[in-house]
A and B are shown apart, each in its own frame.
Chain A
Amino acid sequence: QKEVEQDPGPLSVPEGAIVSLNCTYSNSAFQYFMWYRQYSRKGPELLMYTYSSGNKEDGRFTAQVDKSSKYISLFIRDSQPSDSATYLCAMVPGSWGKLQFGAGTQVVVTP
């Protein structure tokens, strides 16, 4: 079993819809949680960075962490075709060190 599980998709949504992404994990030591966006053949771009449980909002993006369920989510409101990319969740036990990634979910937003 992988430490971080993420549905690879693809997830196809119409423009303007809410995109809902999630990851589950098995290592209870994870404390810091990130979401990265990766366009084809490019490096990952950090979207959200959260510590422990709770919600964090940044513009159209909302990240949620539920440590009791070992479950994290990313919501994208008012999705745009430019949001079409692969979204990677990542987590780490301390404030730095080895990032453990999910496999990434491919999102396609259709006009």
Chain B
Amino acid sequence: DAGVTQSPTHLIKTRGQQVTLRCSPKSGHDTVSWYQQALGQGPQFIFQYYEEEERQRGNFPDRFSGHQFPNYSSELNVNALLLGDSALYLCASSLRTGGEAFFGQGTRLTVV
């Protein structure tokens, strides 16, 4: 079982650019959640996808958007990047019916 996989592992972008991060959930999981973790902080919930629709959203601006594909994989898109968007972006997968959430290794985004 490959677990939750995220790509890329590291990324450097310039202010104002757009970025797309990708996540493949753990085998058998159908729900994907995205979190932002700033240095020294706990992860903050961005949004959650199930059945290809956004089901819950945290306190993040519309510059953050996502998508879930029929195979349950997911993308996180961030437009008009700000310096403050620099963080570790984590993907977690779980079952819609309940149970533990498992995290990927994260994508470290640096905005310069």
Q: Are B103 and A36 in contact (CB under 8 A)?
A: yes
CB pair B98 A96 closer than 8 Å: yes
**Interface size class of chain B, counting residues whose CB lies under 8 Å from the partner chain:** 20 to 34
Task: Give the shortest distance, in Å, between B74 (CB) and chain A (any CB).
Answer: 15
Partner of B56, one of A34, A44, A97, A103: A97
Secondary structure class of chain A's binding surface, majority of residues: loop
**Contact-residue size bin, chain A (C-beta under 8 Å from the other chain):** 20 to 34
Q: Quick check: which of B11-19, B35-43, B77-85 contacts chain A, the rest being far away?
A: B35-43
A21: CB under 8 A from chain B? no
A contacts, CB < 8 Å to B:
4, 6, 8, 34, 36, 41-46, 49, 88, 90, 94-104
Chain B residues in the interface with A (C-beta under 8 A): 4, 6, 31, 33, 35, 40-45, 48, 56, 58, 88, 90, 92, 94-106, 108
